[in-house]
Structure 1
Amino acid sequence: MEIIQMVGLGLIATVLVLIVKEQKPMFAFLITTFTGIAIFLFLIGKIEAVIRVLEDLAVRSGIEMVYLKTILKIIGIAYIAEFGAQIVRDAGQDSIASKIELAGKVLIMVLAIPIISIIIETVIHLLPA
């Protein structure tokens, strides 16, 4: 039922933004931003629960935690970059939003290098010499 709360908050914020936008565009942007942050903060508990389950699965399956932590960092960068880009896009700055997305992609690539290296080494060892 939490989705009903999120949708309700979003609808209320949308109505407020539409009312305020013509008179005070800056306040409309602030309402949009704070609504996004409020929804994100509400979801942090859910994200923590998912991370705990993934850590438990990694421990039970014998996966090294460094790989799981790297993957979680990559997912975090993707979500944060997308969230930031959407806020900037809401302010009408598509160019800056694109740069935020580019920065997120580059940081993800940098974090993925150790995992890609391990995968390549594993494939090389599996191939007949």
Structure 2
Amino acid sequence: MGLGLIATFLALVVKEQKPMFAFLLTVFVGVIIFIFLVDEITKIIEMLESIARNANINMVYLQTILKIIGIAYIAEFGAQIAKDAGQAAIATKIELAGKILILVMAIPILTAVIEMVLALLPTS
């Protein structure tokens, strides 16, 4: 958080003289913050995999959900960078692409849920 605040103040100061450097600083700090979080993300993924194994959940579903979460975060990060660059229209397209990719990734899970529900319904 401290790094983000320092970068924000620096970007505001630099933006008046060199807007391109301010943008690059913003992107660079965003990537650095993400790199700092990689270890924590790895711990979360390992914990979720452990829980899924203990609950006898098919790992394909967990992997799909993790991919969906990853797509959501990457799309949000890309959209924010585009907004910071003053490209709101491109940011909107990035968000739309992320949503469509999430829907595509969710189809197997939705299919499995529908099949499970249909299997529970009585047949005549």
Q: What is the count of residue pairs matched by the alignment? A: 123
Distance in 1 of aligned mates of 2:116 and 2:5: 50
Q: What is residue 79 of structure 2 aligned with on the other side? A: 85
CA RMSD, Structure 1 to Structure 2 (Å): 0.6
Tell me how far 1:8 sits from its aligned partner.
1.1
What residue identity is the alignment partner of 2:15?
A: K
Distance in 2 of aligned mates of 1:18 and 1:115: 44
Deviating beyond 4 angstroms after TM superposition, the runs of 4 or more aligned structure 1 residues are: none
Distance in 1 of aligned mates of 2:100 and 2:62: 19
Tell me how far 1:125 sits from its aligned partner.
0.7
Task: Mark the runs of 5 or more structure 1 residues left unpaired by the alignment.
Answer: 1-6
Whether 2:54 is the aligned partner of 1:60: answer yes
Equivalent of 2:17, from 23, 29, 32? 23
Distance in 1 of aligned mates of 2:5 and 2:49: 35
Q: Give the structure-2-normalised TM-score.
A: 0.97
Distance in 2 of aligned mates of 1:74 and 1:47: 14
Q: What is residue 4 of structure 1 aligned with on the other side? A: none
Q: Give the structure-1-normalised TM-score.
A: 0.93
Tell me how far 1:10 sits from its aligned partner.
1.2
Distance in 1 of aligned mates of 2:99 and 2:8: 30
Mapping of residues 46-125 of structure 1, within 5 Å: 46-125=40-119
| Residues 63-94 of structure 1 deviation map (CA, whole Å, 9 limit, x = unaligned) | 01101000000000000000110011100100
Tell me how far 1:18 sits from its aligned partner.
1.3
Mapping of residues 29-40 of structure 1, within 5 Å: 29-40=23-34
What residue identity is the alignment partner of 1:26?
A: M
Distance in 1 of aligned mates of 2:25 and 2:3: 11
Tell me how far 1:11 sits from its aligned partner.
1.4
What residue identity is the alignment partner of 1:18?
A: L
